[in-house]
A = this chain, B = another copy of it.
């Protein structure tokens, strides 16, 4: 790795204060990995406290052509914040102020390092919430959610990050200060840079501040569990549920293998013969929630339904979720590692996907378990493996390639919410045509002319 240019660290210390610049490898270690378990040591870690400081950092890195990887809390699973090329990691963890909350306008403006959970708490005080709810919500940042285009179970009703951000402040790879979008839920002046930056994993610009669209927090929830004979019956039920106006606030799915593993770990009362299971939540007003539940129940009914259970209380809802919650420990018990791919296909193609995955599991002698966000067709496909077994790890790589091919043959996409990072970078060219990719590279060059921002990520 090329050493950092001599002028860099003094310039960064000058801009940020000496205490905000770490260059001892021991200090940098904690910023060398993320939830992907990949590791690459940065040559320096710096902490910015303001948009202007971020701009100063980018400008120095731009002038000296030093790789710069922005980081929230590193909860992403794809290696998106691992500084592959070394250089500087810019942590925004100290940019953690909520700048404004306007309940009457249903918006919250905050710095990028604020935790999703902190936004939820501030919004909840006014009866509001921000839609993105990744599993990491308690400890992932708004900037990270924006970088990855985070989703979560609620996206089926309320949309992902893309649909719930009004505007951004950011700094391009050339150190240019950007202000995108607006303070309103409508706006068509200029090009939509907001959405261009969402999901770009810090490769086009560094987001420093966001204006988030808040939504009214439903006061009541109801929970249903529907067990079907097979995946086809469950997928047809998902289509029916999504084609009536009472959109559920969660429409989660487990395939037969997932149900069997979870039940083997801990019996939660799923009837035998269940080949696929849906966990359905509706939310709304206390006065209307019962009717929403009835509407969804009616839609859930149909050929192949084995059992439909509604929770009458919070405790009963907990009991219905128990099968899903037993899944993670059951997977850990039978396999030391799971390779989790969040592929997405049109809802009607879910049965073909699950059947195709079962064939690949047999072919490669790898156990595959599927669950996920059925309403969006977003499956979490888990390949269960022993990382100590080199033959199996090789089989996994071969199998994954066939999984991705299958998903694309079914008009799907390689990632619904986790993103590309390093993990899927080499497969992006399978999904996006070469000409379109070239245009994406052109846009990247236009915003980051020296290619300093998060090199080696997102685009092949």
**Cα–Cα, bound, A283→B104 (Å):** 23
Most buried by B among A102, A239, A442: A442
A128 at the interface (CB under 8 A from B): yes
A438 at the interface (CB under 8 A from B): yes
**Cα–Cα, bound, A420→B245 (Å):** 34
B288 touches A414 (CB 8 A): no
A7 at the interface (CB under 8 A from B): no
Q: What residue in chain B is nearest A191 (Cβ atoms)?
A: B440
Taking the closest CB of chain B, its distance from the CB of A150, in whole angstroms, is 9
Taking the closest CB of chain B, its distance from the CB of A349, in whole angstroms, is 8
| A395-431 interface with B by 8 A CB criterion | 411-420, 424, 428, 431
**Given A190-B428, A190-B458, A287-B295, A436:B243 Cβ within 8 A:** no
B417 touches A106 (CB 8 A): no
**Cα–Cα, bound, A156→B216 (Å):** 13
A204 at the interface (CB under 8 A from B): yes
**Given A438-B176, A443-B191, A412:B183 Cβ within 8 A:** yes
Interface-located stretch among A62-70, A194-202, A319-327: A194-202
A105 at the interface (CB under 8 A from B): yes
Partner of A439, one of B155, B178, B373, B440: B178
Taking the closest CB of chain B, its distance from the CB of A183, in whole angstroms, is 4
Most buried by B among A148, A198, A216, A458: A216
A309 at the interface (CB under 8 A from B): no
A149 at the interface (CB under 8 A from B): yes
**Cα–Cα, bound, A354→B239 (Å):** 45
**Cα–Cα, bound, A217→B414 (Å):** 30
A26 at the interface (CB under 8 A from B): no
B106 touches A243 (CB 8 A): yes
| A168-204 interface with B by 8 A CB criterion | 172, 176-180, 182-196, 198-200, 204
**Cα–Cα, bound, A247→B368 (Å):** 41
A345 at the interface (CB under 8 A from B): yes
**Cα–Cα, bound, A216→B187 (Å):** 25
B345 touches A413 (CB 8 A): no
| A225-260 interface with B by 8 A CB criterion | 236, 239, 242-247
Interface-located stretch among A15-23, A157-165, A263-271, A355-363: A157-165
**Given A105-B346, A376-B185, A443-B446, A199:B195 Cβ within 8 A:** no
Please, which residues of chain B bring their CB within 8 A of the CB of A216? Answer: 242-245, 247
* CB 8 Å contact bits of A108-127 with B (1 = contact, 0 = none): 00000000000000000011
A456 at the interface (CB under 8 A from B): no
Q: What residue in chain B is nearest A344 (Cβ atoms)?
A: B184
5 closest A-B pairs by beta carbon, nearest first, are A195-B195, A186-B416, A104-B239, A105-B346, A104-B348
**With A184-B416, A187-B344, A189-B424 already in contact, 14 other A-B pairs whose C-beta atoms are closer than 8 Å:** A104-B243, A105-B347, A128-B243, A149-B188, A156-B185, A182-B411, A183-B346, A190-B432, A191-B204, A191-B440, A216-B242, A245-B285, A288-B292, A443-B443
* Interchain residue pairs with CB less than 8 A apart (11): A104-B239, A159-B163, A176-B436, A179-B432, A179-B436, A193-B439, A217-B245, A287-B291, A287-B295, A288-B295, A443-B446
